[in-house]
Structure 1
Amino acid sequence: MVATLRTNSNVAFRCAFHVVWCPKYRRRVLGGQIEARLKELIHEVIAEKGAWPVEVEVMPDQVHLLVEVDPQLGIHKLVKAIKGRTSRVLRQEFPSLKSKLPTLWTNSYFVATVGGAPLDVVERYVENQKNR
């Protein structure tokens, strides 16, 4: 996957992220109708925030999201919005989640940038700018 070069009014960017988060206590509660609804909600939030989904995969005890995000929005704000909306809606629509968990998601998540040149290549490029 190569992230798309995108622009907004101030910035040209290519920002893709792999994000992973889990239900509280790593409970295996994300299957069947909950999984399908979770994917719908994730896509809704991504569209509302003006980001671009690449891939969403839900496993019983974790969610993997590959997404391109405008740096003015930021990945943290997007993840916070996704986790907040999905927790609220899923717990309303599936009451069994309320009885199994005090909250749907853990507070933490994993995020890594995706694509582009390896860090050492970019580091050398920046170091050598004055020598050009």
Structure 2
Amino acid sequence: MSPRWNPNPDVRTGRHVVYNLHVHLVFVTKYRRGAMTDEILTRCEEIMREVCTDFEAELKQFNGEVDHVHLLVHYPPKVQLSKLVNSLKGVSARLLRKEHDSHIRRYLWGGHFWSGSYFAGSCGGAPLTVVKQYIENQKRPV
């Protein structure tokens, strides 16, 4: 099979699928406490990048503030988003607490790091109005 030219590197192929799935995730620290420092955010990004790699996903963008982080993740359709989120939050919480316990303990207690909730928004590709119009305009047989 010869490699095909692909003008969009975000469009990936699997054995039976062609996909381009991106999600914007936001995780907030428990009680929205400002436990993050630049050093902790840097380490958090490293951890989350490794977790994404384990899921055959790619962390495209990462940033945050003292009480939350934003991620842009490109992931394959075989990945259950909830499992990816649980791993991202669980692994990062465990390692960040282990590596920065003296700082984090001042802001967060009871073994918690992240709030139980999160934001996930699908993104990328054409706007919904364009997709709806494209589907509407298909040449349906009479």
Candidates 84, 104, 109, aligned match of 1:101: 109
- Write out aligned runs for 1:1-132 (5 A): 4-96=10-102, 97-98=104-105, 100-102=108-110, 103-131=112-140
Letter in 1 for 2:128: L
- Structure 1 residues 76 and 108, CA, compared in 2 at 3 Å: closer, same or farther? same
Corresponding residue SS for 2:50:
helix
Corresponding residue SS for 1:55:
strand
On the 8 A contact 1:3/1:15 being kept in 2, the answer is: no
Larger radius of gyration: 2
Higher helix share: 1
In 1, the alpha carbon distance for the partners of 2:14 and 2:109 equals 40
- Normalised TM-score (structure 2): 0.82
Count of residues paired in the alignment: 131
- Normalised TM-score (structure 1): 0.88
Corresponding residue SS for 1:109:
strand
Aligned-pair CA distance for 1:32? 3.3
> Which blocks of at least 5 consecutive residues in structure 2 are unaligned?
1-7
Identity of aligned residues (%): 37
- Structure 1 residues 38 and 19, CA, compared in 2 at 3 Å: closer, same or farther? same
> Which blocks of at least 5 consecutive residues in structure 1 are unaligned?
none
Aligned-pair CA distance for 1:40? 1.1
Letter in 2 for 1:13: Y
